[in-house]
Amino acid sequence: MRKTFLTILVISFAVSTWAATINPTAGGQVSSLVTNTNETSLTINGVIDARDFAYIGEKLTKLTTLNLEGATIAEYTCEKPIFGNQYVYPADIVPPMSLASHPALQTITFPTSATIIGTGALAGCENLTTVNLSQNLTNIEAFAFASCKKLTTITLPPAVTRLGEGAFTRCIALTSVKLGTTGTATSIAIGNEAFLGCSALTSFTFNSRMTTIGHRAFAGTKIKALDLSNYSYLQTIGDYAFAKAPLTTVKYPTNVTAIGTGVLLYSSATSVTLPNSLQNIPPFAFAGASGLEDINLAQTKIDSIGDYAFYKVNKPTSITLPSNTAHIGTKAMVGMTGLTKITSKASTVPTLDDDVWMGLNQPNIILYVPSQSIDSYSAADQWKEFNIQSGTLAGDVNCDGMVDVSDVNAVINYILKLYPGDPFVFDAGDLDDNGIIDVEDVNMMINIILKLVTYAPMAPNTSDAIVIDDFSIEVNEQRTVEVRLESSAQYAAMQCDIVLPDGLTITDVLPTESTIDHTIVMGDINGGVRILCFNNQGKAISMDSDSEPVVKIRVKANDNLATLSTIAIENTVLATPDCKTIICPGTTAWVSTTTGVNDINNYNAKVWAQGNVLYIEASNPTTAQLVAINGTATTLAVMGGLNEYADINPGIYIVRIGTESYKVAIR
């Protein structure tokens, strides 16, 4: 009797399973081609539209497998909405809410031609486990797969450019998300709450085209390691994007300039690498991240820290505020009880909102500040309670109060295991705070120097100088000018600012025989350029004489260059082989242009020169002004006929007779 019962049960189960394949030629035919509402598997290879999706969703409630790979979605327009308030259902788009909350659906394969999955199209399909997406898919709209509680993995086609708001929210079995690495799409944006509450999600793999991570996009997931450093297009990370995720390590890409409020709120992060381009720490950014052991803000561009930004982040023993930090919000550092040292590189005391340091034992915490700002910090509310001391200037390894080429030379010597000079402050040279001094620190120091607009000038301690000889240049002409070192001493490196007159630009800086083995870099400053010249092998500048060109500059003039102008060399620093700083006096040179001036140097003209003799031929007695390139003028008496003026010092002169001006060169 028991055997008979089991046989009948098996036969009954087999009879209850149905599969069908249909080939509709137009939309709206599925209801007539599939009349058995007990179908469990359906393959469609023809034309369908919104009416067919409605029939499948409402009538074929026992369907577990739906294969639409060979189907084409046609446009459909109706007078009465089928889904929501929509009257027009475009071609190649899975209609919104079309299969939402289907009770049995487990596997779906979308049409090859489908480009968009509409809002909430499969939301609430609690038995859905397998999704095969079209390779032409570009957009998954809001809540398309929300609360598909058995969906475990999803592979997004490479053409996808957008995941809408809540696209996969609360897919609690989803463990991984992958995006193809090839395709024609130029960007991909992750919408707000796209994976919110996906409590099993441990990893996502997109390619570098990702530009945006929306608000709360991965909040409440189980992602433990977040390495975004290779996402070179990523610019925006939204509010609470990874809140309450068990992240231990976080790396941001270098191009991110802003992260959202509470981006790592109550995460488990122990290490965070912030991008150098970051401009502010938003409110609640790391609040409750009690496992965070290190906070490195030193090389960022942060100018403000928001309310509760580091609330109860109690493990770090030190924090460095970058030089442009201007403001810290309410209770931003409350509960940072592990702090023993704070370094503020800001010369101007940052303003503070209420109770920034609440709960900290401030008298026992050393606050390092720029030496020139000690009095300002000591008088400022909430700052004055710290143990305030003079801090080390980043990059100033030889402790002379400046960051210049002598510090670069010292760091290079340190790396090469040569004598780096005494003193040598390791912490000042370890600019990326990684515990070693290497070429990256050299590069960072060079960037500091090139971007350093001004610093307090120091009195010269030598008569050695960098000079440029007076020169002339035609409008729109480009010429090469020597920059000479007037010295008999040996130096290892050089730095100077060349301040240019209006109308003159430097297009390039070139080495000479003296510096052929050196690296030369140039950066813009207000009104000119800053030039650094140094060697990565510890070699000195090779000098054969006491007036040797060290570099050459290519200059170009335009119409704005005055007839007589000055070019100045300022802030000149020379580094000795033992890494001492030598401060040179400033120098100037005269630049003349022939704009509006007759250039006469032949016997047929009224004014010319030969050797060191000036000739002026006049019809009647008159006077002439002889103007040297340094601006000094001499009045010459001119008789009728040919006049000769001998023993004139070599140089370029302007001769003015009446309303006419002439340029002559005395050799």
Of 230, 225, 224, 240, the closest CA to residue 206 belongs to 230
Question: Quick check: helix, strand or coil at residue 467?
Answer: strand
> Could you tell me which residues are beta bridge partners of residue 328?
305, 352
Residues in Cβ contact with 324 at an 8 Å cutoff, skipping those fewer than 6 apart = 301, 302, 303, 346
For residue 420, say if its preceding peptide bond is cis, omega within 30 degrees of 0: no
> 381 pLDDT band (50/70/90 cuts)?
very high
The C-alpha atoms of residue 662 and residue 667 are separated, in whole angstroms, by: 16
Full set of structural domains in the chain with CATH:
465-593 (2.60.40.680), 598-666 (2.60.40.3770)
User: Residue 14: which pLDDT band, with cuts at 50, 70 and 90?
Assistant: very low
Tokens for 667, please give them: 């050799």
Q: Which two tokens stand for residue 90?
A: 């475009």
How crowded is residue 42: how many other Cβ atoms within 10 Å of its Cβ?
A: 21
Average pLDDT over residues 551-570: 88
Q: Which residues pair with 617 in a beta bridge?
A: 642
Task: Identify the pLDDT of residue 602.
Answer: 39
Residue 310 has what pLDDT?
92
- Give CA–CA dist 334/360, Å, rounded: 7
CA-CA distance, 571 to 485, in Å (whole number)?
14
Evaluate the omega torsion of the peptide bond into residue 423 and state whether it is cis, within 30 degrees of 0: yes
- What's the confidence (pLDDT) of residue 65? 96
Given a cut of 60, is residue 453 above it in pLDDT? no
CB–CB of 487/549 below 8 Å?
A: no
> Is the model more confident about 589 or about 116?
116
Residue with structure tokens 């925006």? 236
Residue whose entry in the numeric block shows the structure tokens 């530009």: 211
Residue matched to tokens 């939204």 = 238
What phi and psi values does residue 156 have, to the nearest 5 degrees?
-85, 135
Pick the most confident of 150-159, 459-468, 562-571, 583-592.
Answer: 150-159
Average pLDDT for residues 83-112, to the nearest whole number? 94
Which pLDDT belongs to residue 9? Answer: 37
Q: Say if CB 642 and CB 615 are below 8 A apart.
A: yes
Q: Which structure tokens are listed for 7?
A: 């046989």
Cα–Cα distance for residue pair 115/408, rounded to 1 Å: 56
Percent of the chain topping pLDDT 90: 37
Which phi and psi angles does 411 have, rounded to 5°? -65, -40
Structure tokens at 240: 């609470």
In the predicted model, is pLDDT for residue 78 greater than 50?
yes
Q: Average pLDDT of 305-321?
A: 90
pLDDT number for residue 353 = 95
At residue 392 the predicted structure's pLDDT band, cuts being 50, 70 and 90, is low
What pLDDT band is residue 651 in, cutting at 50, 70 and 90? confident
User: Do β-strands 188-190 and 465-467 pair in parallel, antiparallel, or remain unpaired?
Assistant: unpaired
Burial (CB count within 10 angstroms: exposed 0-12, middle 13-18, buried 19+), residue 662:
buried
Residue 439 has φ and ψ, to the nearest 5°, of -65, -30
pLDDT number for residue 380: 96
3-state secondary structure of 387: strand
pLDDT for 13 beyond 70: no
- Are the C-beta atoms of 387 and 368 separated by less than 8 Å? no
Q: What is the per-residue pLDDT for 12?
A: 38
**Phi-psi region for residue 631, left (φ > 0), alpha (ψ -120 to 50) or beta?**
left
Dist CA 182 CA 178 (whole Å) = 12
Check residue 605 and give its pLDDT.
52
pLDDT-derived band at 6, boundaries 50, 70, 90: very low
pLDDT band at 17 (very low <50, low <70, confident <90, very high): low
pLDDT at 659: 65
Arithmetic mean of pLDDT, 287-291? 84
| Model confidence at 504: pLDDT above 50 | yes
Residue 488 has pLDDT above 80, yes or no: no
Query: Per residue, what are the HEC states of 486-537?
Result: ECCCCCCEEEEEEECCCCEEEEEEEECHHHCCCEEEEEEECCEEEEEEECCC
Sorted by sequence, the CB contacts under 8 Å of residue 189 that are 6+ apart come out as 161, 162, 163, 210, 211, 212, 214
Percent of the chain with pLDDT over 70: 91
- Specify the amino acid at residue 130: T
Q: If pLDDT is split at 50, 70 and 90, which confidence band does 425 have?
A: confident
Collapse the DSSP code of 594 into the 3-class scheme (helix H, G, I; strand E, B; otherwise coil) and give the result. coil
Sign of the torsion angle spanned by Cα atoms 331, 336, 341, 342: negative
Q: What is the pLDDT of residues 223-278, one digit of tens each?
A: 988 888 888 788 888 999 988 888 888 888 777 777 889 888 887 777 787 777 78
Where does the pLDDT of residue 500 fall: very low under 50, low under 70, confident under 90, or very high at 90 and above? very high
Q: Which two tokens stand for residue 551?
A: 């570099």
Which residue has tokens 């143990």? 387
Q: How confident is the model at residue 144 (pLDDT cuts 50, 70, 90)?
A: very high
Q: Is pTM beyond 0.85 here?
A: no
Half-sphere exposure of 14 (CA within 13 A, CB side): 6
Instruction: Give the model's pLDDT for residue 263.
Output: 83
Cβ atoms of residues 164 and 138 within 8 Å: no
pLDDT at 589: 84
CB-side neighbour CA atoms (13 Å) of 200: 16
Q: Are 248 and 225 in contact (CB under 8 A)?
A: yes
Tell me the pLDDT tens digit for each residue of 622-643: 888 888 766 667 878 888 888 8
Label residue 51 left, alpha or beta by phi (over 0 means left) and psi (-120 to 50 means alpha): alpha
Residue 365 pLDDT: 94
Whole-number pLDDT of residue 573: 86
Distances (CA, A) of 150 to 60, 91, 147, 195, 199: 20, 29, 9, 14, 12
In this structure, what DSSP letter does residue 294 have? Answer: B
Task: State both tokens at 354.
Answer: 């209420």
CB-based contact 385:361 (threshold 8 Å): no
Q: How many angstroms separate the CA atoms of 320 and 277, rounded?
A: 16
Burial of 253 from C-beta contacts in 10 A (0-12 / 13-18 / 19+): buried
pLDDT tens digits, 514-558: 888 888 888 888 888 888 888 877 788 887 766 778 899 999 999
- Cα(169)–Cα(192) distance, rounded to whole angstroms? 10
Residue located via tokens 């340091």: 357
Q: What is the pLDDT of residues 42-60, one digit of tens each?
A: 999 999 999 999 999 999 9
| 245 C-beta neighbours (distance < 10 Å), count | 24
Residue 298: pLDDT over 70: no
Mean model confidence pLDDT for the chain = 84
pLDDT of residue 184: 54
User: Span 421-450, mean pLDDT?
Assistant: 78
Which tens digit of pLDDT belongs to each residue from 153-175? 999 888 898 999 999 999 999 99
Tokens of 151: 């969906």
Q: Answer yes or no: is pLDDT of 63 > 60.
A: yes
Answer yes or no: is pLDDT of 296 > 80. Answer: no
φ, ψ dihedrals at 455, nearest 5°? -150, 160
What pLDDT is recorded for position 15? 39
Helical axes 439-451 vs 405-415, angle rounded to 10°: 180
